Amino acid sequence: ITMKYNSEGDLINTFKEVYFKKNNNKRSDFIVFEEMNTNWGKPDLVIIYYDKANLLKRVGILSKYSSIPIFTNLAAYAMFYLASLTKTTLNNLKDFLKVHTGQFNNVLDILTKRGLVYIYNNTIRIRAKRKVFFIKRIEVYEAKIENWKRAIYQAQRHLWFTSESYIITPAEMSSDISKKITFYCKKAGIGLVLQESKDSFKTVSKPIGRGLLDSYISWKFNELLVDEVLNEK
């Protein structure tokens, strides 16, 4: 079957429909974001699998408050730093962030009002991670109708925050080209998904890495997930 697309957006929309049909009945909770800014590129699709039970517990607590401060990049960097430590001093955190006192106090306000940390005396630590961080996996997809080399480059750029980065492309190519794309995807450490028919996408090769990588952007995604669920209430 020949698949004709006017844009990568059409290919992404078709992939999303098939993905939802395939995965919605499984015992996994996930949310899909499009064109998310990671400060180093905008993946076509970001699919986040998460722990729904613990997420809803935290959302239930936060929903009792009239307003929750916006989670900023500085707050994300702070959580990334704190998650690597058992505890630390406020001065150490301020030195890590390299900010003035006003900015630092704003970060502390965000972290405390969003229920992410404990602060006592001059010490700060995150709450039990399973109670505040809910992401299990992050899958990232870049779609390309042509110029697969560009797609591989784009997908490879996302490996700093996820080990599961893929490119999606229609399977309308010669066997030699298909083998070449598969080879270079494996070499780059990314996965390859080919559309075989209107309702069928096949994962030809999987990414080399597995598991969730520690990064500040994971905390951004985590709090975006919290806000999405809060806004539904």
In the chain, count H helices and then E strands: 9, 9
Check residue 1 and give its pLDDT: 44
Check residue 174 and give its pLDDT: 60
Distance CA 211, CA 15 (A): 23
13-71 residue pLDDT tens? 888 888 888 877 665 688 888 887 777 778 889 999 999 999 999 999 998 888 899 99
For the cut 70, the answer to whether the pLDDT of residue 133 exceeds it is yes
152-182 residue pLDDT tens? 888 888 888 888 999 998 876 667 777 888 8
pTM of this prediction? 0.86
For the cut 50, the answer to whether the pLDDT of residue 121 exceeds it is yes
**Beta-sheet strand order (sheet of 29-34):** 29-34, 45-50, 135-143, 164-170, 191-197, 200-205
pLDDT, average across residues 119-137: 94
Domains of the chain: 8-51+137-205 (3.40.1350.60), 70-133 (1.10.10.10)
Check residue 172 and give its pLDDT: 67
| Alpha helices per DSSP H over 32-160 | 52-62, 73-82, 90-97, 101-113, 129-132, 148-156
